[in-house]
Chains A and B, each alone.
Chain A
């Protein structure tokens, strides 16, 4: 060792970094699984989120889905609504939602004839906004709404139908029946290139494209397995874990900004120093 004192400090730093890394990991995982922010009390309450599907014909399907979790993913919401839908792997980019409520009737890709199922999000009956994440990652809480609109790729219009009024308010205190067996049978695992998600039992009847329907679908207690992605493209995430807490995301932005600024400053300093020390100057 050329510098024993420094070596000792570095080894101590290395040893000390392991608990720090472990702490980062624990905090990150805890925030992901909701150990910090969510408790058992929330699991016993019933929440509602709306699903609004707007077909190219203008027909709208509105369904209110009840769930016991604090949040569910768009994939879970779509699945529990009972609406027929299909997904297809999209290369290395995950899956894409190709078909909802039998539209399009047939397809070879999720961007059939330049059209696709665009996904929108509404928070607390607010305006529609493009989903920033895939259907397996985008989460919905009580009062939120998930919207799908079959439209061309050059069209960014949200669904004309408002999500307001689809779900009852205030939230009922009595829990809705839980049908676990239905959830287990309604969602076949992804086994082929195209994954079908047919409805089952009473909800299996095809919803007419032009119909507008309000219905409350019971919430399975177990989360649906697997994961698909948003209307356009997104990575499938197994389990559909809820996203990082806003505080964690904000801290990540600030730390990344500070790191990036420091690296750019260091890079500029090194370039300036090399320019000064270049031969001939």
Chain B
């Protein structure tokens, strides 16, 4: 599928997730994103780190909201007010709202995950419009620099320890910092030479293979745009209000329009099944 179709789908999913605090819609988008990732991810793309990081964020959001928000009618337990920061009543409403926030975080993260778990990095760069190609390449290189420096730091540190040099303590890292900096500079020069050798900045680019805008991509783009339109209309017309569990938990209301927007977001699954 065309990277631009994935970008449109991710953007539409984010719009649905972030437009309202209704947990039902967030849960639906989360389920859709999980299905999309499991169906369409690259074979070499690992899901476990992404899911673990998302789970950590979910747990943290729930816990933090539970202990920091003391609003709500149904008190479960009261932490003595002498405890700084978290002292006060722990309420059911705070837990529920924490889960709602966590659902939003998980849905937003997994909505963007196809850009890294389904697409290859070079496909994403190719998806940028021509005027932004150079900016995209430079941004990608800069972002890629961080994990490269980390890998170098680990490798140099291990090499130093094998020679009986630097240990793992913080003060030992000065012996690692200089080689890491030098290797980073060296690699940046190599990267610049490689890019120049490939004609970076010399004029319009040619591609070995261009991303096709096939029928499935068109379907996903059309459905994504429609989902955004439906969500905005629902919000403006009032059928997509925010939901808050305070002062007492209530069942969130569901309307046809936002659910229709969620249905439109299942387009990648339909396109994948049919193509």
Contact = CB atoms under 8 A, between A and B. Distances in A.
Interface of A: 1-3, 6-8, 10-11, 13-14, 17-18, 21, 24-25, 27-29, 31-33, 93-94, 111, 116, 118, 130, 132-134, 137, 153-156, 231-235, 237, 239, 241-244, 248-249, 251-253, 255-256, 259-260, 263-264, 266-267, 270-271, 274
Contacts of B70: 153
A271 to B, nearest CB: 7
Interface stretch (B50-58, B151-159, B169-177, B249-257): B249-257
B241 interface: yes
A6 B274 CA distance: 8
Secondary structure of the A side of the interface?
helix
Interface in B212-253: 214-216, 218-219, 222-223, 226, 229-230, 233-234, 237-239, 241-242, 244, 246-248, 250-251, 253
B256 A24 contact: yes
A156 B73 contact: yes
Given A94-B242, A232-B244, A248-B256, A271 B38 contact: yes
What interface size band does chain B fall in?
35 or more
A252 B31 contact: no
A130 B247 contact: yes
Which of B38, B71, B237 lies at the interface centre, i.e. has the most chain A CB atoms within 10 A of its CB?
Answer: B237
B141 interface: no
B216 to A, nearest CB: 7
A263 to B, nearest CB: 4
A24 B73 CA distance: 38
A248 B255 contact: yes
Contacts of B257: 24-25, 28, 252
B89 interface: yes
Contact of A243 (B226, B238, B256, B266): B238
8 contacts: A14-B219, A14-B223, A32-B238, A137-B241, A232-B246, A233-B244, A255-B254, A270-B35
Given A32-B238, A153-B73, A235-B242, 13 more contacts: A14-B219, A21-B230, A29-B233, A93-B242, A232-B244, A239-B238, A252-B254, A255-B259, A259-B259, A259-B262, A263-B34, A267-B34, A267-B38
A266 to B, nearest CB: 5
B96 interface: no
B248 A156 contact: yes
Contacts of B32: 263
A256 B239 contact: no
A266 B273 CA distance: 12
B250 A132 contact: yes
Nearest to B247: A232
The main secondary structure of chain B at its interface with chain A is helix
Contact of B218 (A10, A21, A134): A10
A132 B241 CA distance: 12
Contact of B237 (A29, A260, A270): A29
Contacts of B275: 2-3, 6
Nearest to B27: A260
Contacts of A27: 256
A241 B238 CA distance: 6
Contacts of A234: 241-242, 244
A32 B239 contact: yes
Nearest to A152: B73
Contacts of A130: 247-248, 250
Nearest to B239: A244
Given A21-B226, A237-B241, A154 B73 contact: yes
B224 to A, nearest CB: 11
Contact of A137 (B233, B238, B250): B238
A72 B75 CA distance: 33
Contacts of A253: 254
Contact of B246 (A137, A233, A252): A233
B258 interface: yes
A156 B260 CA distance: 36
A33 B237 CA distance: 8
Given A130-B248, A156-B73, A255-B259, A10 B35 contact: no
A28 B256 contact: yes
B263 interface: yes
Contacts of A256: 24, 28, 254, 259, 262
B38 A10 contact: no
A116 B258 CA distance: 32
A10 B219 contact: yes
A153 B226 CA distance: 42
B16 to A, nearest CB: 13
A270 B214 contact: no
Which of B226, B258, B259 is the most central at the interface, judged by chain A CB atoms within 10 Å of its CB?
Answer: B259
B269 interface: yes
Pick from B27, B35, B218, B247 the residue with the most CB of A within 10 Å: B247
Contacts of A93: 242, 244
B253 A3 contact: no
